[in-house]
Amino acid sequence: MPDRLAAKRAETAVPCLVEEALPAFFKKLDAWQKAFGSPLLIAISGGGDSMALCRMTSLWAQARGTSAHAVSIDHGLRPSSADEAAQAMDWATALGLTGEVIRLEAKPAHGGLQEWARQARYQALAKAAARNGAKLILVGHTWDDQVETLCWRLARSTGLDGLAGMSELAVNSYAPHETPNLLGRPLLELKRADLRAWLVKSNQAWLEDESNQNLDFARIRTRKLLGEMAAQGVEIDRIIRLATLADALRKEQEQASLALLERCGLLPLDSGWHLNATLFWQAEPVIVARALGWLIYSLTQAEHPPESQKIVRVCASLMANPTRGKTLGGVWMAQKGPHLFVKIAPVRRSLDAVPSPTPRSQYARLFAVSRQPHEFVTQ
């Protein structure tokens, strides 16, 4: 291993809880393999979290006599990135896994480096999953990542979905609808320090990302702030309990929203949807807004549904004057007779045409945003 890639070891002894968590981890992967088949893909960077995931998954694969395929993405943003990706893959193959390194050639023309890297990484992982016939990609997000994500969202006045945190299974929003896949996060209940203590005990080295000290990144500033809060006696565990409550409320809303769309006889039509308007507007406003946001999202290329405040305003306008069309996020909505129509809006001359969605892609995005991934990934 090159000198500049000195592996990081734990500096202090931390109680090792990972071995106690292995049976539950194995059970989780058993269930996912039954639902989504083989092989499972593992996204690895060589960092402590990803190497813990890699090692735990290799133990599961050996115990079950099955396979897992590691993918290391070389973003090409630092001189050492190729060596780092190669080192991560060497460790993965030493654990008995198959694997590949994917180098990203394109670079962002200007700004948005972190967002570009994230999007390009998940697009590359989606392509690797399609080549290998995989529907599930394991990623190494931990309890610490969940806390940092929640704090970052709280600072930006997030809503219920944001407070619910990262879900254990989520749709890879950068995968094509023709070959959808999921992101699996089996480490969300495990802490970073415990994982590293287990790596030390297992004599497994890892790489320390130098960007983890760079305060230019929001996630690093959030991590620093959390450390300061803990030093002041703030119980960080309470943030996770808040997320658990928000997640339970979100699930209730989502089930109610899905039930509403089914009750209203939702059906696809050319580049859109139609449903029973009377039954739709009779539902609770918060459920109506969520369901309408999903329908808009399902017809577009957007990463998220429109902001809830904008949807609420559109709902109020439509209820006041149902036959007068409203447009939001490139989608036109209006009531004609007993039906509410939600369709791709006509393209203005200054804008490029949005590709017309197919009924399959509409349903795929509808279930994706409602976090009901099994409904279309397993079709």
Residue 41 — φ and ψ, nearest 5°? -100, 145
Q: Smallest Cα–Cα separation from 43: which of 177, 171, 136, 165?
A: 136
Residue-wise pLDDT for 5-42, tens only, equals 445 544 444 456 899 999 999 999 999 999 888 889 99
Which range among 66-70, 72-76, 194-198, 224-228 shows the weakest confidence by mean pLDDT? 224-228
Question: Interhelix angle for 237-263 vs 143-154, to 10°?
Answer: 70
Report the C-alpha gap between 44 and 125 in whole angstroms. Answer: 11
Residue 65 confidence (pLDDT):
94
Residue-wise pLDDT for 297-322, tens only, equals 888 877 778 888 899 999 999 999 98
Domains of the chain: 3-234 (3.40.50.620), 251-377 (no CATH)
Which range among 136-145, 207-216, 246-255, 331-340 shows the weakest confidence by mean pLDDT? 207-216
Q: Is 291 exposed, middle or buried (0-12, 13-18, 19+ CB in 10 A)?
A: buried
